[in-house]
């Protein structure tokens, strides 16, 4: 699929929601993680929601294998407080059941936090 306005007759938008619970004291060298399989198509947007109380202590990233999807710079993480951010991406998913990994760490020594992600993909009908 070419980047731009999708042919809505040929493609279907699929939204997948993931909640990642990140225990207090989880370090970046051994992050909490979960996986999500996407169908063949194009990943077009990732929404990342940080609840109140994270205050920059909670950080996440999205990978496919060794490829950094969000943020795109290797070794970087996203971390905020009380916000849902949307990121446009253009990433071709070339095979069904391609596994994406969502990782997170938590420098908060008192509280676990749950970060919510939405991965929006266009797949062929």
Task: Please state the rounded mean pLDDT for residues 32-55.
Answer: 96
Task: Please state the rounded mean pLDDT for residues 112-116.
Answer: 98
pLDDT band at 9; cut points 50, 70, 90: confident
Mean pLDDT computed over every residue of the chain = 93
Multiple choice CATH, 11-124, 3.40.190, 3.40.50, 2.60.120, 2.60.40: 2.60.120
Residue 4 contacts by C-beta under 8 Å, 6 or more apart in sequence?
none
CA distances for 53 relative to 7, 58, 73, 105, angstroms: 41, 9, 26, 14
What's the pLDDT at 11? 84
Task: Please state the rounded mean pLDDT for residues 30-59.
Answer: 96
What's the pLDDT at 23? 98
What's the pLDDT at 68? 95
CA distances for 11 relative to 2, 74, 100, 112, angstroms: 12, 31, 21, 38
Return the domain boundaries, the chain: 11-124
The model's pTM is: 0.89
Task: Please state the rounded mean pLDDT for residues 61-90.
Answer: 96
Q: Is the pLDDT of residue 113 over 60?
A: yes
């Amino acid at each position: 699929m070419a980047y731009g306005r999708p042919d809505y007759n040929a493609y279907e938008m699929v939204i997948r929601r993931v909640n990642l619970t990140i225990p207090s004291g989880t370090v970046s060298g051994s992050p909490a993680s979960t996986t999500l399989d996407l169908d063949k198509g194009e990943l077009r947007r990732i929404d990342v929601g940080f609840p109140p109380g994270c205050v920059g202590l909670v950080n996440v990233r999205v990978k496919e294998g060794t490829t950094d999807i969000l943020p795109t710079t290797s070794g970087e993480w996203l971390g905020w407080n009380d916000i849902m951010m949307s990121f446009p991406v253009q990433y071709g998913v070339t095979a069904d059941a391609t596994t994406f990994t969502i990782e997170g760490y938590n420098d908060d020594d008192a509280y676990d936090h749950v970060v919510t992600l939405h991965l929006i993909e266009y797949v062929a009908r």
